[in-house]
Amino acid sequence: MSIDMEQFHQTFFEESFEGLDIMENELLNLDVGNADNESINTIFRSAHSIKGGSGTFGFTAIAEFTHVAETLLDEMRDGTRQVTQEAVDILLKSVDVMRDMLGVYKDGGDMDEENNNAVQKELEDLLGVEGASASDEGSNDSANETTAGGWQISFRPHIEMLRTGNDPVRMMHALGELGKIEVVVNISELPSFADLNPEDSFLSWEITLTGDISKDDIVEVFDWVEDECDLDIQPIVNESENVAEAPQAAASDTLATEKAEKDPAAKKATAKKGGSETASIRVGIDKVDEIINLVGELVITQAMLGQVGGEISEDEKHDESRMEKLLEGLAQLERNTREIQESVMRIRMLPISFVFSRVPRLVHDLSSKLNKKVNLVTLGEGTELDKTVMEKIGDPMVHLVRNALDHGIETPEQRLEAGKDETGTLTLNAYHKGGNIVIELSDDGAGINKERVLNKARSNGLVGENEELSDDAINDLIFHPGLSTAEALSDVSGRGVGMDVVRKNIKSLGGSVRVDSTEGKGAVFTIQLPLTLAILDGQLVKVGNETFVVPLVSIIESIQVKSDNLNGIAGKADLYKLRDEYIPIIRADHIFNMHGGDSTLDNRLMVVVEGDGHKAGIIVDDLLAQQQVVIKSLETNYQRVDGISGATILGDGTVALILDISGMIDMYKEKGTPEPTTPVTPPQGNDSDIADEAA
Amino acid sequence: MASILAVDDSASMRQMVTFTLKGAGYDVTEAKDGMEALQIAKSNSYNLVITDINMPNMDGITLTKELRALPAYKFTPILTLTTESSADKKMAGKQAGATGWIVKPFNPDQLLATVKKVLG
Amino acid sequence: MTKAASELNSIIGSELDSDADQFLTFILGEEEYGVDILRVQEIKGWDSVTPIPNTPDYIKGVINLRGTIVPIVDLRQRFNMPEIEYGPITVVIVLKIECADRDRIMGIVVDGVSDVYDVPQEEMKEPPDFGNVVDTEFVRGLATVEEKMIIILDIDHLLSGSEIKATDGLAD
């Protein structure tokens, strides 16, 4: 039977990567010197599974490497080795090596032999020579004898042999397959019927096996019962053969018994945790995406029917009972569709712990590198978000953590001097808020040095010499491309990636990031992200003849423009006085170069939006319905478009574009609201030379 | 056809064992740890149990002991999956009442040969 | 959609087994152009599109093609030919193009579809160098069928041009 083992590789890789994550986490949480048995067991089990699987599936390099790590873990588990920081560090390195090897087997590439061997050497050094080799025992090394004539076997099971499920009849069959067999059964031990316990074994056999048979093959038949029977195998022709194994077997037997007794006790303690796992299946993400697409289609169809149904009811009021039924059916379809959509979306949801779990290792490595003491606290790890969002938020998170450790939290000396505990605290917190997930990353470090940031910004010309900024605005400067990497270059966070990239990446996910800081007390970075990239609650608006979707989360309010509140700056930009602040007015038809819109602002509808902490008013011609829309990418077949985050399909089958509010604000800042073709009729009291031009 | 309960916490090993045995015509039920296996074993009957040793919640040794304590599994063959490095584990398995073992790593042919040995 | 277009749609769907390459031809002004029929997904009548802001004029907008957002390119405008009113035989040929390392779906607006021809490899001629007079970037070759010249297009460059690659880099 030939089986293509490759079909199991995918599963093996997935579970092994997961196993490595578990190992890493448990290793980081190990209380050195007073290690929890359960944790060691968990780490051991993961290593053991990886070793077993990689051996089975032919990934020998991993199997061999893991074997050494496993040996070390086994000693820790047995209590014969102390859990030291040194050992934990080497094991962490081993995890990296294993991850690397798995990656190479999975995706191709070259192994870093040098590093792998170096780590293996470290493991072996720690184990000592005898430790490394001691574990390779157990295979039966008895010389493979053969005799031309055959064998005389005396097989005398112990009384309890049947209780392990071993059946002598099967052994006779197995022997029979090796050669010609003659069996004489000895029933002399059989008690009288009344005393006979059918679960006990009283019989013994004298077997004559003739043919060209190796002794190993015979021993193998009795392999499982060698300690449950008296076995004597003698060659028929050559009398000089002797079985020397019996005493050996007996010796190792007592040893095994001791171990066996110790082990289950240890194991029992391990059985508590992890019982709450829910059963799961692995499904390819492409299959889920396919269902999501289909459900998306269903939502559109449902919206289309709903619209048609609504129109019919206007026209054909006369047939009211049938009409009512149709509308009822449509309402039910809408409910069902919504529910299906929600359940399907949930398939893609994973707890944020998948991202958080990368952090402990990072903090461990960084704090030792930077000589800082950091206590990591994670909250809300069970908060779920879409897998796609999760995959993309990992790197920005890692960068923020690096930043917090490098620039936020001070050295123990500095902290003591500032009257703080020498150990800093980094807290990760995740929770749901509206249709968003909020991730907060807070540290109790030094906070942002506003003076330095402002000076830097002034010297770079980002901020005018006499321009005064609010505290929040100064803090926000760290996300500016011209500032973020400056003066921050260090071994740790100066990898050419700055806070501007963090913000850019988060924005590309439709999210936002801001910072609150108190000098001397610490800083809080707050990331807000949509739960999913697949659907969105939107407000449909009309600009000119086109329908656009404004994400509901960015809308603060919708108002009618009052001319009294309009102000111009240098005839170029319009500002609107909204209560006690001035917000820029963005004319969608202008920044999108659409023609034929109404050019006056007075009495127009304005949607007040917020993106990245900046408010703006977008002028629209009409406010239509609010509805949930399925997000479709423009990039699949076309490309990214500034100010547009995607598209959706409306109930009538037409396409509507989804506005990217932050992107529009950026566009506005870059080009203002230029007006090459049709100048705006300026609001009352505005700069007069524009009015002249228009006239 | 004979029915087999395959217990392993590793999904890839379970897949491989199940695929191999089903291919040979056996009925296979999977369990991901000893605890789950014990529950399943109590409500069904199997001609053979193949179990990994190192598993969370309940390991293979404990599972073997628990099964042997059930009247229905008094004589049912139980095979443990073990690595060559743990000779002591083979013995621990036997002490708990296992019939025999299959040494990891094994290939599908070895698995079938061993299963055939106990199921005839 | 015209009857001819629906007939062609059925040809597209059927198995092709000829050694020669098959080309779907269409009319643009006085000229006949051909595209590899294996790249043709379907032919549909012109319908309204949703314009995309700040894009070249030849990008008419996007349509919903069974749940996918597909850009529509006006080929006359792409080739800087005079624009004409869209009429009842104006069609959109939906093509699969390979650009920037992946497949994309795109529609082209043409005056009308013409025919399907077999063109043996050896009969395909290199386009002459027109210098700066005609942009040959999109021309894969010239073929003569029934005394007519057919311009075989290299459709992978229609949308790709320079701008799509440049922005793709930014988007990532």
**Mutate which of B39, B54, B112, B115 to test chain A, going by most A C-beta atoms within 10 A?**
B54
- Between chains, do C50 and A642 touch, taking CB under 8 Å as contact? no
CA–CA distance from C146 to each of A652, C20, C29, C149 (Å)? 45, 16, 19, 8
Q: Which residue of A has its CA nearest to B114?
A: A221
- Identify the bridge partners of residue C141 per DSSP, sorted by sequence position: C152
Q: Is some CB atom of chain A closer than 8 A to the CB atom of B39?
A: no
Report whether the peptide linkage leading into residue C56 is cis, meaning its omega lies within 30 degrees of zero. Answer: no
CA distance B103 to chain A (A): 10
Active-site annotation of A, residues: 48, 70, 403
CA–CA dist A452, A470 (Å, integer): 15
Q: Which residue of B has its CA nearest to A265?
A: B62
CA–CA dist B7, B33 (Å, integer): 6
Q: What pairing do the DSSP bridges indicate for beta strands A546-551 and A535-543?
A: antiparallel
Tell me the CATH class for A5-134: mainly alpha
Residue A51 in contact with residue A67, Cβ under 8 Å?
A: yes
CA–CA distance from A200 to each of A153, A162, A203, B55 (Å)? 22, 7, 9, 32
CA–CA dist A460, A478 (Å, integer): 13
Residue type, C147: E
Chains B and A in direct contact, meaning 3 or more beta-carbon pairs closer than 8 angstroms: yes
By residue range, what is the domain housing residue C20? 3-171
Topology classification of domain A351-530: Heat Shock Protein 90 (3.30.565)
Q: Is the dihedral of CA A617, A621, A622, A627 positive or negative?
A: negative
- Between chains, do B24 and A1 touch, taking CB under 8 Å as contact? yes
What is the reported pLDDT for B37?
93
Q: Is some CB atom of chain A closer than 8 A to the CB atom of B69?
A: no
> Given phi > 0 = left and psi -120 to 50 = alpha, else beta, which region is A441?
beta
| B 87-106 near A (Cβ less than 8 A) | 87-88, 90-92, 94-101, 104-106
What is the reported pLDDT for A247?
44
Q: Is some CB atom of chain A closer than 8 A to the CB atom of B83?
A: yes
Within chain A, which residues score under 50 in pLDDT? 130-143, 238-277, 485-496, 673-695
Copy the structure tokens of residue C91.
């069609």
Q: Which residue of B has its CA nearest to A281?
A: B11
The DSSP code for A613 is: T
pTM above 0.80, yes or no: no
- Identify the bridge partners of residue C50 per DSSP, sorted by sequence position: C62
What is the reported pLDDT for C24?
93
* A531 Cβ neighbours under 8 A, 6+ residues apart: A349, A384, A385, A386, A389, A432, A435, A436, A437
Tell me the CATH class for B3-119: alpha beta
- Number of CB pairs, chain A paired with chain B, less than 8 A apart: 158
Q: Which residue of A has its CA nearest to C66?
A: A297
What is the reported pLDDT for A495?
43
CA–CA dist C94, C159 (Å, integer): 13
What is the reported pLDDT for C30?
87
- Between chains, do A653 and C51 touch, taking CB under 8 Å as contact? no
Residue A621 in contact with residue A544, Cβ under 8 Å?
A: yes
Chains C and A in direct contact, meaning 3 or more beta-carbon pairs closer than 8 angstroms: yes
Q: Is some CB atom of chain A closer than 8 A to the CB atom of C155?
A: no
- Partner-chain residue, chosen from A5, A42, A227, that has the shortest CB–CB distance to B94: A227
Looking at beta carbons, which residues of chain C come within 8 Å of A655?
49-50, 61-64, 69
Residue A185 in contact with residue A164, Cβ under 8 Å?
A: no
C-alpha of A68 from chain center: 28
Structural domain boundaries in chain A: 5-134, 146-251, 285-348, 351-530, 535-694
Q: Is some CB atom of chain A closer than 8 A to the CB atom of B111?
A: no
A580, with CB counted inside 10 A (0-12, 13-18, 19+), is: exposed
| pLDDT single digits (tens) C49-85 | 999 998 888 899 999 887 789 999 999 988 888 888 8
- Between chains, do A164 and B94 touch, taking CB under 8 Å as contact? yes
Structural domain count of chain C:
1
Looking at beta carbons, which residues of chain B come within 8 Å of A136?
84-85
- Between chains, do A252 and B78 touch, taking CB under 8 Å as contact? no
Residue C59 in contact with residue C73, Cβ under 8 Å?
A: yes
Which CATH number is correct for A146-251, 2.40.50, 3.30.450, 3.30.70, 3.90.320?
Answer: 3.30.70
- Between chains, do B11 and A170 touch, taking CB under 8 Å as contact? no
What is the reported pLDDT for A523?
92
Name the strand (E) or helix (H) holding B108: helix B108-119
Residue A75 in contact with residue A81, Cβ under 8 Å?
A: yes
- Between chains, do A166 and B20 touch, taking CB under 8 Å as contact? no
- Between chains, do A636 and C50 touch, taking CB under 8 Å as contact? no
- Partner-chain residue, chosen from A592, A636, A654, that has the shortest CB–CB distance to C64: A654
| pLDDT single digits (tens) B6-48 | 999 988 889 889 988 988 889 999 999 999 999 999 988 899 9
- Partner-chain residue, chosen from B13, B52, B78, that has the shortest CB–CB distance to A165: B78
What does the longest C-alpha to C-alpha distance in chain B come to?
34
Residue B63 in contact with residue B38, Cβ under 8 Å?
A: yes
Structural domain boundaries in chain B: 3-119
Q: What is the CATH number of domain A535-694?
A: 2.30.30.40
> Given phi > 0 = left and psi -120 to 50 = alpha, else beta, which region is A369?
alpha
Chains that touch C (3 or more CB pairs under 8 A): A
End-to-end CA distance of chain C: 39
**Mutate which of C39, C44, C63, C64 to test chain A, going by most A C-beta atoms within 10 A?**
C64
- Between chains, do B104 and A9 touch, taking CB under 8 Å as contact? no
CA–CA dist A250, A636 (Å, integer): 70
